[in-house]
Amino acid sequence: MGFWRIVFTIILPPLGVLLGKGFGWAFILNIILTLLGYIPG
Protein backbone atom coordinates (compact mmCIF):
# COMPACT_ATOMS: atom_id res chain seq x y z
CA MET A 1 0.00 0.00 0.00
CA GLY A 2 2.92 2.36 0.60
CA PHE A 3 3.89 2.57 -3.08
CA TRP A 4 0.36 3.39 -4.22
CA ARG A 5 -0.05 5.98 -1.48
CA ILE A 6 3.04 7.78 -2.77
CA VAL A 7 1.79 7.63 -6.37
CA PHE A 8 -1.66 8.95 -5.41
CA THR A 9 -0.14 11.70 -3.28
CA ILE A 10 2.01 12.92 -6.16
CA ILE A 11 -0.91 12.92 -8.60
CA LEU A 12 -3.58 14.32 -6.27
CA PRO A 13 -2.44 15.40 -2.78
CA PRO A 14 -5.88 15.27 -1.08
CA LEU A 15 -6.22 11.62 -2.02
CA GLY A 16 -3.02 10.83 -0.14
CA VAL A 17 -4.35 12.62 2.94
CA LEU A 18 -7.66 10.78 2.64
CA LEU A 19 -5.87 7.43 2.52
CA GLY A 20 -3.58 8.34 5.43
CA LYS A 21 -5.77 10.32 7.84
CA GLY A 22 -9.32 9.61 6.70
CA PHE A 23 -12.08 12.14 6.13
CA GLY A 24 -11.68 14.98 8.59
CA TRP A 25 -10.31 18.47 9.03
CA ALA A 26 -6.92 17.54 7.58
CA PHE A 27 -8.61 16.34 4.39
CA ILE A 28 -10.78 19.45 4.05
CA LEU A 29 -7.85 21.76 4.73
CA ASN A 30 -5.75 19.91 2.18
CA ILE A 31 -8.45 20.32 -0.49
CA ILE A 32 -8.66 24.06 0.21
CA LEU A 33 -4.90 24.53 0.08
CA THR A 34 -4.63 22.43 -3.08
CA LEU A 35 -7.29 24.50 -4.83
CA LEU A 36 -5.55 27.71 -3.77
CA GLY A 37 -2.31 26.36 -5.22
CA TYR A 38 -3.86 25.24 -8.51
CA ILE A 39 -5.79 28.47 -9.16
CA PRO A 40 -3.37 31.15 -10.35
CA GLY A 41 -3.65 34.34 -8.42
Domain that holds residue 19: 2-38
Number of domains into which the chain is organized: 1
Give, as one character, the DSSP assignment of residue 39. Answer: S
Residues 6 or more apart in contact with residue 35 via CB below 8 angstroms: none
| pLDDT tens digits for range 10-35 | 888 888 788 778 888 888 888 888 88
pTM of the entire predicted model: 0.64
What is the Cα–Cα distance from 23 to 15, expressed in whole angstroms? 10
Q: How confident is the model at residue 1 (pLDDT cuts 50, 70, 90)?
A: low
